[in-house]
């Protein structure tokens, strides 16, 4: 007897494989099922079931089913490459979010035309309905197989495996794989190869550069087409493309991973910074600034020198024996301010102490991982540290969660766009169980108090404390981990921060690390893509383009522009010789929300037309009325 899909089932004679059980007891869903779960373990349909097992099904449309489809398709990709290119050597081909990739070693560069050719070969293979056949093997036997095939990367992987392993065959192709796979290739075909990039073997720049072929695969043609449409939209919304069109920033090889902000891009940055500064002030934070270069001594005390040194930029003074590091985070500097200000005699009555810093930090990232504003080597954090006691954690956590919600709403996101994730204690950690109990309970109670749903990432907390992560979903359903509230049971002790408790004893404060945007650079990139460059009015770098019909009206246009500027409105004045239509199109390319065209009628009447060039809505009004209208919209964070 087994438990199958929640029901007790006595197996008939000869029915032992997942496939036979499915055919006998769930024939109506047979075509929807790609694999089974045996006691919670994903398994092939050919796997044998034993008495007492708990068996469930994995359907193609489920995430686990899609992962198997993508894994299967990655194998077919490798098989097709081996058929087309005899010299190809295959490395690894995992499933990733919404797709898969396979790293290939080839003596030539793969082109877009090659991808089309590979796709055609993959479809030819799939039509054969090749079965996926699992084989168990010893390490020595597997090595001999792949040595015979001259698959050096597979041999290297296998040499690091202990015990029995599994191989999968389909057609003449064999690959090292733990599975599971579908029964055969008949359920495949809804896929697309997307791109090719370089990738070092094992991610090490000292190793050979391989070619990584990316693809996506789905259970239906409709879902594939929807995804490809989404990909096209993502390309249109690429913040690097929008940033160039709007003249916001650029990046260059002379300073990889570091942003050159242009005037309008820097204006967005400053608007967000001033907004966050105002929010910090209203929530009781003191703002500080600490050096970007700190001695290795402080990094050794904090523990970063041992754990993070490979990601730090190191500097040595000409006449100084000490090593220095450009700070990869602001925490140690903030603690130094706390220690110096209170000279070690702060009372528990003075806690919690909230300290904020817009700290510019530098972290070394491999050149290949850099991606516009989304992943840089230099970035500015909206960092804050709350020095507190165990008794303060709950109230401070509630306050930070409310703070974060307000910020994301002001930036145009809805509560439904936000996810909360609580990461609790890992196996390897510092601090007492009692301290962890208090911290975890405080964070969970804070989320309960907010009345929000949240997920728990078991064992995913840092070694020094649990944390809450704020995850936003943009208009293209992509998830971005932005803000964090991290409890730190360790750093205050390591760096000697103390307070005096109610018994007159010296204690180390709990430190809450808090960020809402995370990185200004990355958050701006997310906003640009979410809004396709049409930012909410209050954060737009330019509110209005003032355009004159001809030189005759340039003086009036300048007067109007100056009056709007006096009202705090950010404007572009365009008195060039181009046509009005061209000027408006140029303004729209820069995603300016409004235009005001100054011609004969405007000069004679003293009225101006505030026009939304995207909706063609236009309203005539006095300049003073226009100023008030725009100021009201900006003040209320209304996107019009």
Among all residues, which ones are annotated catalytic? 331, 363, 381, 383, 385, 467, 513
Answer yes or no: is 513 a known binding residue: yes
Instruction: Specify the domain boundaries for CATH 3.40.50.800 within the chain.
Output: 542-637
Q: Which residue, among 265, 258, 221, 219, has the nearest Cα to 243 in the 3D structure?
A: 265
CATH class of the region 2-59: alpha beta
Note the CATH architecture for domain 542-637.
3-Layer(aba) Sandwich (3.40)
For residue 150, give every residue at least 6 positions away whose Cβ sits within 8 Å of its Cβ, in sequence order, or none.
Answer: 89
Instruction: Specify the domain boundaries for CATH 3.30.980.10 within the chain.
Output: 64-235
Residue 148 CB coordination number (10 Å): 8
CB 613 within 8 A of CB 625: no
Q: Which residues of the chain have pLDDT under 50?
A: 638-640
Answer yes or no: is 331 a known binding residue: yes
Just give the CATH number of 64-235.
3.30.980.10
CB 215 within 8 A of CB 191: yes
Just give the CATH number of 279-292+327-531.
3.30.930.10
What is the spatial order of strands in the sheet that 353-362 belongs to?
Answer: 286-287, 353-362, 378-388, 510-519, 479-488, 467-473, 418-423, 454-457
Query: The pTM is what?
Result: 0.84
* Structure letter (DSSP) for residue 479: E
End-to-end CA separation in angstroms for the chain: 64
**pLDDT of the residue at 319:** 66
Distance of CA 265 to the CA centre of its chain: 21
Residue-wise pLDDT tens digits, 495-523: 999 999 999 999 999 999 999 999 999 99
Instruction: Specify the domain boundaries for CATH 3.30.930.10 within the chain.
Output: 279-292+327-531
List, in sequence order, every beta strand (DSSP E) within 15-111.
33-38, 41-43, 54-59, 89-90, 95-96, 99-105
Pairing of strands 293-295, 323-326: antiparallel
**pLDDT of the residue at 343:** 63
Whether a cis peptide bond, with omega within 30° of 0, leads into 464 is: no
**pLDDT of the residue at 639:** 39
Helix (H) or strand (E) segment spanning residue 612: strand 607-612
Which bin fits 591, alpha (ψ -120 to 50), beta or left (φ > 0)? left
Whether a cis peptide bond, with omega within 30° of 0, leads into 275 is: no
What is the spatial order of strands in the sheet that 346-347 belongs to?
Answer: 346-347, 499-500, 506-507
Residue with tokens 């008495």: 51
């Amino acid at each position: 007897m087994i438990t199958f899909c929640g029901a007790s089932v006595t197996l008939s004679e000869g029915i032992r494989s997942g496939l036979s059980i499915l055919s006998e007891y769930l024939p109506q869903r047979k075509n929807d099922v790609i694999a089974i779960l045996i006691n919670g373990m994903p398994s092939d349909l050919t796997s044998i079931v034993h008495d007492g097992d708990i068996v469930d099904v994995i359907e193609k449309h489920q995430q686990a089913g899609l992962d198997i489809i993508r894994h299967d398709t990655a194998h077919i990709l490798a098989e097709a490459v081996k058929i087309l290119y005899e010299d190809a050597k295959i490395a690894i081909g995992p499933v990733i979010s919404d797709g898969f990739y396979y790293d290939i070693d080839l003596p030539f560069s793969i082109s877009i035309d090659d991808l089309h050719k590979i796709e055609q070969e993959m479809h030819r293979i799939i039509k054969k309905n090749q079965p996926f056949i699992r084989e168990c093997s010893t390490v020595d036997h597997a090595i001999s197989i792949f040595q015979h095939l001259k698959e050096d990367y597979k041999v290297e992987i296998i040499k690091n495996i202990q015990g029995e392993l599994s191989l999968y065959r389909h057609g003449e192709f064999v690959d090292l794989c733990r599975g599971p796979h579908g029964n055969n290739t008949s359920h495949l075909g809804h896929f697309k190869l997307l791109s090719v990039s370089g990738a070092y073997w094992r991610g090490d720049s000292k190793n050979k550069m391989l070619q990584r072929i990316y693809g996506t695969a789905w259970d239906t043609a409709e879902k594939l087409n929807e995804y490809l449409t989404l990909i096209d939209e993502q390309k249109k919304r690429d913040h690097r493309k929008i940033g160039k069109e709007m003249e916001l920033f650029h990046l260059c090889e002379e300073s990889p991973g570091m942003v050159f902000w242009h005037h309008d891009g820097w204006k967005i940055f400053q608007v967000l910074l001033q907004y966050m500064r105002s929010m910090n002030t209203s929530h009781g934070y003191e703002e500080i600034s600490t050096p970007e270069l700190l001695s290795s001594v402080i990094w050794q005390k904090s523990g970063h020198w041992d754990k993070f040194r490979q990601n730090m930029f190191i500097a040595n003074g000409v006449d100084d024996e000490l090593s220095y590091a450009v700070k990869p985070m602001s925490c140690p500097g903030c603690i130094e301010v706390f220690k110096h200000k209170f000279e070690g005699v702060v009372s528990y009555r003075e806690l919690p102490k909230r300290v904020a810093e817009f700290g510019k930090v530098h972290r070394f990232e491999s050149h290949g991982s850099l991606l516009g504003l989304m992943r840089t080597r230099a970035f500015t954090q909206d960092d804050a540290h709350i020095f507190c006691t165990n008794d303060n954690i709950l109230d401070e956590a509630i306050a930070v969660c409310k703070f974060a919600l307000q910020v994301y709403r002001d930036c145009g996101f809805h509560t439904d766009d936000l996810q909360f994730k609580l990461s609790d204690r890992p196996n390897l950690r510092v601090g007492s169980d009692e301290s962890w109990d208090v911290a975890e309970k405080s964070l969970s109670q804070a989320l309960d108090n907010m009345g929000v749903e949240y997920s728990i990432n078991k064992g995913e907390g840092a070694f020094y404390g649990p944390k809450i992560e704020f995850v936003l979903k943009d208009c293209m359903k992509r998830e971005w981990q932005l803000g964090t509230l991290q409890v730190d049971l360790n750093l205050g002790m390591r760096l000697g921060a103390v307070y005096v408790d109610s018994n007159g004893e010296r204690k180390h404060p709990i430190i809450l690390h808090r960020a809402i945007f995370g990185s200004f650079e990355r958050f701006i990139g997310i906003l640009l893509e979410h809004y396709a460059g049409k930012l909410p009015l209050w954060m737009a770098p330019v509110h209005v383009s003032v355009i004159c019909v001809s030189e005759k009206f340039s003086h009036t246009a300048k007067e109007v522009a100056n009056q709007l500027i006096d009202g705090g409105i950010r404007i572009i004045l365009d008195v060039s010789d181009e046509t009005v239509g061209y000027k408006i199109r140029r303004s729209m390319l820069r995603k300016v929300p409004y235009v005001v065209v100054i011609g004969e009628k405007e000069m004679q009447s003293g009225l101006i037309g505030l026009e939304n060039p995207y909706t063609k809505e236009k309203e005539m009004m006095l300049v003073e009325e226009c100023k008030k209208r725009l100021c009201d919209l900006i003040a209320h964070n209304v996107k019009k």
